[in-house]
Amino acid sequence: MKHCLPVCLFLYFAIPSFSQYFLRGEIKDEKGRQLERAKILLASKGNMPFYSGNFGAFGILCPYPQDTITVFYDGYEVYKKEVNTKVFNEIILKMLPETASLYANKLSSRTINLEDNGESYFSTLGESYSSLIENQFVNAKLYPETGFSLNIDKASYSNIRRFINNGMYVPSNAVRIEEMLNYFDLRGTNFPKPKDSSSFSAASTITGCPWNDKNFLLFVQLQAPKINLDNIPPNNLVLLIDVSGSMDHPTKLPLLQSAFKLLIENLRAEDKVSIVTYGGGVHVALSTTSGNNKQKINNIIDSLYADGDTPGENAIRTAYSIAKTSFIPNGNNRIILATDGDFNVGQTTEQELENLVSFQKQSGIFLTCLGVGMGNYKDSKLEVLAKKGNGNFAYIDNIHEAEKILIKEFTKTMYAVAVNAYTNIQFNPAVIKKYRLIGFDNKKSAIVDTTSLLEGGEVGSGHNMMAVFEIVPAETFHTTETLAGSLNLTFQLPKHTQKITQSFQLPYHPIAFNDAPPQIKLATSIVMFGSLLRQSKFVKNYTFQDTINLAQTAINPANTSEQELLQLMQKANNIYNYRKKR
């Protein structure tokens, strides 16, 4: 009996050590979105991290009925509170102000303090396009500052090509002139070199304006830095493929299958690929697989067939979950969504899809959208997803376009060198009386929303982009005034939060249009072509034949893309003039 008391005392003090409680709950934000992979610390567990799972749920064994929980999630305030392990705990995280701004309507361009002029255009043919407001002339004295978003989107040009090659009118809202310019490399032979490997370079030109001899055109070009091809980071690619019934057409799923097999052919052993399909349900067709296992990947791609409805929302969630699981810390983590954009199950409106993808944007995973098809094509939805997903957007109308996007321009399309990139231009009112930005037209919904912000875009390796302004010179100004204005470019390096700003001057040295270099004349013909398709009031005295005549003076006969542009102009001339004659 003399040993009984120590044993009893040991058991008394040891019981709490062996008791187990189960702390359960879910983590959401103020809008009810479940937060997956939120980091959880419990006071009883020290620095051992736990993470919320699917739908924000968590369950952790705990030695005490009461514990202190601390929750961390990028873009949200840290949550710390004592919890009861005997009940289900619903934890609500509050967004930081900069996170809340992600969900605001975003503008492609913005002039400070300028009001909406109320214009609107609408699209037809059963396809959906965002209703755009064409930029108007702005008084430089009252509103000297304007800006636009940088991106590498080119979808509008190949979509326009699809309409014209089918002998059809192009819906005005399908025309985005900045994307038409993006499609071509319009650098001159003497384009300035960047000061270092992570910097942009810039150039500007001012010429006469062919459709208004009283005005000038200001061309602003920006060249993105290039990734060193000898040190390309590994890829973590999730192919998110629509295999619903609407994809059962030669220009849809079969075209995508051929396109993705081109992509797979060029992957390396260090690259990783997963495939998620959605059609009648969501299916992980291929778990994470090395890029050197090409036959296995291609067999899965070949086995796909179209059937069922379109549960796009759950498919997107699944793709992000897989991308996070196979995340490469210093790699290129990207979802490639390929679809006609017709989501009909789950969250389906543009606003719902915006919120879904904006929420995932902070994960460091990029989203590239590839659109296909016609008649059921939802351009507006794919454009929203790409922009909100910190990615880019292209339209594939044939296998040659697929090769251009996924092979020839792979680094431009798939490797971001800058994110949240945008410019601000400060015009000099002593030199510029009025200006209008051509292209970068805003959605009606974004203009109406007074809280809308200028949206930064993703820029790919080595991409060259151009913006064009039509400017009205001041009636009189001192000859000592030699600057049309200045440009500030703001961007972030991928995986970095610090903003970088580069500044450039815009000299005012107009040259006669006939003396302009070929790439400037070609850009002007593209602007005029897009403006005519857009039915812009600013070129109402201009014709498709005028555009053809100008393009013929600038096009390089050895450049197949430029030759194709000329052919499209000629076809459009026949289509639009034929209908006028009738």
pLDDT at 388: 75
Between 442 and 163, residue with greater pLDDT: 163
User: How far apart (Å, rounded) are the C-alpha atoms in residues 55 and 333?
Assistant: 22
Please give the helix or strand (H or E) that residue 423 lies within, else none.
strand 416-427
pLDDT at 352: 66
Label each residue of 338-402 as H, E or C: EECCCCCCCCCCHHHHHHHHHHHHHHCCEEEEEECCCCCCEHHHHHHHHHHCCCEEEECCCHHHH
* Average pLDDT, integer, range 547-565: 95
pLDDT at 116: 41
Confidence of residue 480 (pLDDT cuts 50, 70, 90): low
Instruction: Provide the residue type at 22 as one letter.
Output: F
* Average pLDDT, integer, range 104-130: 51
- The set of residues, in sequence order, having a beta carbon less than 8 Å from that of 211 and lying 6+ positions away, is 528, 538, 539, 541, 542
User: How far apart (Å, rounded) are the C-alpha atoms in residues 525 and 549?
Assistant: 9
Give yes or no for residue 17 having a pLDDT over 60: no
Residue 365 in tokens: 């995973």
User: How far apart (Å, rounded) are the C-alpha atoms in residues 465 and 185?
Assistant: 8
Give yes or no for residue 158 having a pLDDT over 50: yes
Give yes or no for residue 436 having a pLDDT over 90: yes
What is the pTM (predicted TM-score) of this model? 0.76
User: How far apart (Å, rounded) are the C-alpha atoms in residues 4 and 363?
Assistant: 58
Partnered with residue 487 across adjacent β-strands are: 425, 504
- The set of residues, in sequence order, having a beta carbon less than 8 Å from that of 410 and lying 6+ positions away, is 263, 266
* Average pLDDT, integer, range 91-100: 75
DSSP secondary structure, 433-445, as one string:
EEEEEES-PEEHH
Confidence of residue 261 (pLDDT cuts 50, 70, 90): very high
User: How far apart (Å, rounded) are the C-alpha atoms in residues 210 and 213?
Assistant: 6
DSSP secondary structure, 49-80, as one string:
-EE--GGGEEEEEESSSEEEEEEE-TTB--EE
Give yes or no for residue 4 having a pLDDT over 80: no
User: How far apart (Å, rounded) are the C-alpha atoms in residues 52 and 92?
Assistant: 13
Burial classification of residue 75, based on how many CB atoms lie within 10 Å of its CB (0-12 exposed, 13-18 middle, 19 or more buried): middle
pLDDT at 212: 93
Residue 38 in tokens: 């939120």
pLDDT at 477: 65
pLDDT in tens, 182-217: 999 898 777 888 777 789 999 999 999 999 999 999
pLDDT at 151: 83
What average pLDDT does the structure give for the chain?
84
**% of the chain at pLDDT higher than 90:** 50
Give yes or no for residue 374 having a pLDDT over 50: yes
Give yes or no for residue 2 having a pLDDT over 80: no
The angle subtended at Cα 99 by Cα 487 and Cα 79, nearest 5°, is 145
Residues 448-480: b if buried by 16+ CB within 10 A, e if exposed: eeeebebbbbbbbbbbbbbbbbbbbbbeeeeee
Give yes or no for residue 355 having a pLDDT over 80: no
SS3 463: coil
Asked if residues 379 and 333 have their Cβ atoms less than 8 Å apart, the reply is no
pLDDT at 99: 56
- By residue count, the chain amounts to 582
Give yes or no for residue 106 having a pLDDT over 60: no
pLDDT in tens, 507-554: 999 999 999 999 999 999 999 999 999 999 999 889 999 999 999 999
Asked if residues 438 and 135 have their Cβ atoms less than 8 Å apart, the reply is yes
